[in-house]
Amino acid sequence: MPNALLEVKNVSKYFPIQGGLLKRPRAYVRAIERVSFQLQPGETLGVVGESGSGKSTLGRTIIRLYDPTEGSILYQGHDLARLNQKALRPYRRHIQMVFQDPYASLNPRMTIGALIEEPLKLHTKLSRQDRQEEVRRLLKIVGLSPDAHTRYPHEFSGGQRQRIGIARALSIKPSIIIADEPVSALDVSIQAQVINLMMALRETFNLAYIFIAHDLSVVKHISDRVMVMYLGHVVELADKKELFRHPLHPYTEALLFSVPEPNPHKKKERIVLSGDIPSAANPPQGCVFHTRCPKAMNVCKEVKPVWQEVSPRHWTACHLHTKQ
């Protein structure tokens, strides 16, 4: 589709493992490997995977907290991957990030007002008075009292701090928000409040989200499309309903069956995967999932499966579904 807001093309990120006297890289951790996808305006793309799947690295690479090892990140046609930090600055305001732990990402010595005002100072030419008015307006939008601007982060609960993080990200009117596990540190009753807020803001501001989380139920709730990652690779990508009804990749299947559901009447058939995720410094040959795959065939050990559109808008990389 030509009108994608964001197009990520074959992006990889390797981290060097340094050693020896000269600190030369001895090996690389392949955190993400040739990831490609598009994001449309106003769309929510859920990214799920377990620890070590590369989902956080992906988010951080897109906003260039990390420099990609290869590939391109096209925002409205401009390749962010090729820009230096200075040239990148005007684009920063369009893609903002919300982190898991809102306490660690808010400076404890700054008031809430100063925190939300900071991006406005950097990215807009608003006067001091206009900025402060804007801060009060943003606080109201995220469901906090406009008078909260004189208080400090420690005076707020986890859910409220997450609201502050969201207000801050919203302040400079981004078109994309990358949210990395935004609700996983919150209690159930508060988690629902923040999810509802994020969904309401999406409508109001026509935001596109990249919503990174390990909790499949949360991702299913908020996303339009869902992408499943394993050991740095995208293994499946489809519209939400299609993915949850007809998972193609055995890893997606196992993931769906692993979630304990809050319904004691539903006794599920379990696919319990054996073993742990292999190390990304030394990923398996062939399909990266073959060491744990209940359906692995001989070909899986040798040949990397191709990323293919198996049915309309449903992509996977699995030899079971490879079309000649």
Partner 1 sequence: METLLEIKDLKTYFYSNKREIRAVDGVDLTIYRGETLALVGESGSGKSITSLSIMGLIPNPPGKIVSGQVLFEGRDLVRLSEKDMQTIRGNRLAMIFQEPMTSLNPVFTIGFQLTEPLRIHQKMSKKEAEKRALALLELVGIGRAAEILKSYPHQLSGGMRQRVMIAMAMANDPQLLIADEPTTALDVTIQAQILSLMKDLKAKMLTAILLITHDLGVVAEMADRVVVMYAGQIVEEAPLLELFDNPRHPYTRGLMAAIPRLEDEKEHLDAIPGTVPPAYAYPKGCRFAPRCPLKTDRCTTEMPELIQVGKDHKARCLYAG
Binder among 10, 107, 157, 298 for partner 1 (CB under 8 A): 157
Binder among 85, 204, 263, 324 for partner 1 (CB under 8 A): 263
Indicate the pairing of strand 6-19 with strand 24-39: antiparallel
Assess 218 for contact with partner 1 (CB under 8 A). yes
Residue placing its CB nearer to partner 1 in the complex, 72 or 193: 193
Assess 159 for contact with partner 1 (CB under 8 A). yes
Neighbours of 193 (CB within 10 A): 17
Assess 66 for contact with partner 1 (CB under 8 A). no
Assess 141 for contact with partner 1 (CB under 8 A). no
- Two tokens at 107? 């400076």
Assess 288 for contact with partner 1 (CB under 8 A). no
What own/partner pairs with CB < 8 Å and gap ≥ 24 does 72-78 have? 72/7, 72/8, 72/9, 72/10, 72/11, 73/6, 73/7, 73/8, 73/9, 73/11, 74/4, 74/6, 74/7, 74/8, 74/9, 75/5, 75/6, 76/5
Pick the piece of the chain touching partner 1 (CB under 8 A) from 14-22, 255-263, 283-291, 301-309.
Answer: 255-263
* Smallest separation, CB 202 to partner 1 (Å): 12
Assess 262 for contact with partner 1 (CB under 8 A). yes
At 112, which helix (H) or strand (E)?
Answer: helix 112-123
Residue placing its CB nearer to partner 1 in the complex, 51 or 129: 51
Assess 137 for contact with partner 1 (CB under 8 A). no
Report which residue type is found at 296.
Answer: A
Q: What are the helix and strand counts (H, E) for the chain?
A: 10, 12
What own/partner pairs with CB < 8 Å and gap ≥ 24 does 306-310 have? 307/36, 307/234, 310/248
Pick the piece of the chain touching partner 1 (CB under 8 A) from 90-98, 112-120, 209-217, 305-313.
Answer: 209-217
Please list, residue by residue across 148-167, b when 16 or more beta carbons sit within 10 angstroms of its beta carbon and e when fewer do.
Answer: bbebebeebebbbbbbbbbb
* Smallest separation, CB 172 to partner 1 (Å): 27
Binder among 73, 207, 277, 300 for partner 1 (CB under 8 A): 277
Binding site for partner 1 (CB under 8 A): 50-51, 157, 159-160, 187-193, 195-196, 199, 214, 216-218, 220-221, 241, 244, 254-266, 270, 272-274, 276-277
